[in-house]
Structure 1
Amino acid sequence: MTVIDFFFEPLSYDFMVRALATALVASIVCAVLSCWLVLVGWSLMGDAVSHAVLPGVVLAYVVGAPFALGAVVFGFLAVALIGAVRDTSRVKEDAAIGIVFTSLFALGLVLISVIPSQTDLNHIIFGNLLGVSRADLVQVLILGAVVFGILILKRRDFTLFAFDPTHAHAIGLNPRVLGALLLGLLALTAVVALQAVGVVLVVAMLIIPGATAYLLTDRFSRMLVIAPSVSAVCAVIGLYVSYYLDTASGGMIVLTQGVAFGLVYFFSPRHGLLVTRMLARRRRAQATVAQEC
């Protein structure tokens, strides 16, 4: 097999073309949003919302409504419930997040098990990247464009909200509104990623790219370029590997992102573990020499 055949053989199948397009859109949108989630410290919130949207997606399927509508409703419901449990009891926020998202996720599993359907709703949990239809692809493209457009247009406001909400309020921005908008975009992004990796692995696509970029640069503007670039490359590599090794596409994409993070964690020229340890040893050696002199 030639190199050209290696790259173009998978693309001779329509389902692979749709899978590649879906994976690229989902990975790029998730990666851009992940930059703010990492800065704000909403990793657990991303996990909560991505799992909590499951019953909303199932109920939307039942009534014939758009998946995005059900996801947004249950995403905000999860946030409201987390706030209520945190503010009206002794339970701390991390425990409240765990209670709410696991309960709503379990509700989604129960709904899937009892709702009669000619469609296998388990693909919502585990993803069905190779089974993406034209209608699914159109939905992903529309939702992805909406989320990406809002993130880019409001990037300065979101960045100020992430770094200093007090200053954002002082200059006339409303941190509550910005936080609510970010959560709404998180719910919509979860729907986009559902087509690729399912509910279980959505949180990985929402966290790993931003964390990877965070280890590579100290400038947020560069994070917004590095994160989607790394995520898109991982999506392509993961999809091709899954095609030739006959493995789960969504899982392989996330695994590729995990490997990329591992490489950056160890070998990043700025914040890599090996580099920081070498610098620490060099400082200790210089300090020892200085003391001896």
Structure 2
Amino acid sequence: MRLEYLVDVEEISIKEYLMLLGLSRRLARKIKLYGKMYINHQEAFNYHLVKKGDLLTIEFDETLNQEIVANPSELEIFYNDDDLMVVNKPHDLAIQPSRRHQEDNLISRIKAFFIDQEITSNIHIVNRLDYATSGLVLVAKNGYIHHQLTSKNRINKKYQALVTGKLLEKEGTINLPIARLVDGEIKRGVSETGKTAITNYKVLVEYENTSLLELILETGRTHQIRVHLSHIGHPLVGDKLYGTEEKRLYLDCYYMEFIHPQTKKKLIFSKEVKWNV
């Protein structure tokens, strides 16, 4: 990881400047212990002062997690640069390794790509999708970019879902709190003691027995879309946990937009959702 900043404030210590930039204390400490810093190409340390017009360079190497198995299975890449990438996760694929998904998961596929491209940094997943959900996933290539994307950057996402039945109101907002139903279990439900959860929906197409919806989340609770639609009587098609027993879950994160932490440009990604309905 190499970061360069043209200092735009009056005299301040490097440590204070890093905090001003929004680096987490954890990342700043890692840079102090394992990285190198330069002021105008001269090696420097945390206590050294920078002033307006100085070039501050930070070098910090991350290494790929050696415990993760690399899997060269198909990886659909929508975007890729030195700082981040956007990939399309298939349905029924775990994001990260687990006891049941040790050999094949999204991170293991990304690791194989990193090795092939001789990328040595670690893999930082920014937005997570359930095992059964398909769609766009944002990946940061170092801890700094991950921190910038999660702490200072709003990532706007849109989903499409196929639900059972036809909704009386074709557009609306579901504002119902969600909580874990039983400690230690994955299933969630609407509960007065739960955390605030807000889902905006719009009916795109109505079929004979199902409806295609566009959904935008104002909050990001676990299983939020699935719980909300099930609660109002329109569970997602293929949702074995909250609804029906179809062969797959029809839920896809098809749209994503955010500001690139380095270039400050708005990036927009959209994909066609291909379902046989």
TM range (shorter): under 0.3
TM-score (norm 1): 0.23
TM-score (norm 2): 0.24
Q: Higher strand fraction: Structure 1 or Structure 2?
A: 2
Question: Higher relative CO (CA 8 A, sep ≥ 6), structure 1 or 2?
Answer: 1
